[in-house]
Amino acid sequence: MKVGVLALQGAFIEHEKKLRQLGAETVEVRLPRDLDGLDGLIIPGGESTTIGKLAVEFGLIEPLRTFAQQHPTWGTCAGLIFLAKDIGIDRQPILGVMDITVNRNAFGRQVDSFEIDLPLARLGDMPFHAIFIRAPIITAVGKQVETLGQLDDGRIVAAQSGHLLGTAFHPELTNDLRLHQYFLSMIKDR
C-alpha cells in the first residue's frame, strides 16, 4: 500500500513514521505528479493558510481536490480545515471536498493547546489520547457525514464522510497507532 503525505509544511514526517511502522510505503507529496499511483493521502497539521498558499503556488489545488474526491484522504488539524467545505472565510484556499463546517482556532488563546483522553467508539473501548494544538472544531456536519468523536460538551472533533476522514487533533504525536491503522483499513476496504 502506497500512502502519500502532503509535505508542504507541518507535521508530515511524524505521519510518515506512523505509516511505515504499520508497513505502508510512504510518498512525500509536493508536486501534482507525486500523487500518481497513491492509494490514499494524509494532509497533516501545521498552518492551513501556509499549506493553502503553497498548494496554490505548486499548482496542487485542483490535483489534490480531484484526488480527495476519489481516494481515501485524511486531514488532521490544519489538514481538516483544508478538506472542509466551509471555514467561514473565503480568502483562504481550501479543497472544499468534505461536507463539514469548521471553525479555525476554536479554543482561543487560553487553551491554545491541551490533551484529553477522547472516546472514539470506532477504535474500541480504550480512549484515544488526543493532542490539540491551536485546533479547529467541526461546527456542523452534512447528512452523509458521521460524527466519530466529540468532547464532553458535544463539540465535534472527528468525523468521517465515506472515504474522507477528519480529526481536529494530532494523532501522529502520540504512540497510539490505532487511527493510522483505521485509515489504512479505510484504504483496504475500498
Q: Which residues are catalytic?
A: 77, 170, 172
47, 86, 115, 176: which one binds ligand GLN (CB under 6 A):
47
Binding mask 117-146 for ligand GLN (x = CB under 6 A): ----------------xx------------
**Beta strands in 30-126, from DSSP E residues, in sequence order:** 40-43, 73-76, 84-86, 98-103, 113-118
Answer yes or no whether residue 166 interacts with ligand GLN by CB under 6 A.
no
Cα–Cα dist 186/62, whole Å: 23
Q: Please state the closest distance from residue 49 (CB atom) to ligand GLN, in A.
A: 6
Cα–Cα dist 93/161, whole Å: 21
Report the residue number, 23 or 108, with the smaller CB distance to ligand GLN. Answer: 108
Q: Residue 106, exposed/middle/buried by CB under 10 A (0-12, 13-18, 19+)?
A: middle
Answer yes or no whether residue 48 interacts with ligand GLN by CB under 6 A.
yes
Report the residue number, 48 or 161, with the smaller CB distance to ligand GLN. Answer: 48
Answer yes or no whether residue 95 interacts with ligand GLN by CB under 6 A.
no
Residue 113: count other Cβ atoms within 10 Å of its Cβ: 11
3-state helix, strand, coil in the chain (%, to 5): 30, 30, 40
Residue 63, SS3 per DSSP: helix
Report the residue number, 39 or 176, with the smaller CB distance to ligand GLN. Answer: 176
Report the residue number, 65 or 134, with the smaller CB distance to ligand GLN. Answer: 134
Cα–Cα dist 66/83, whole Å: 12
Answer yes or no whether residue 168 interacts with ligand GLN by CB under 6 A.
no
The residue ranges that bind ligand GLN (CB under 6 A) are: 45-48, 77-78, 81, 104-105, 133-134
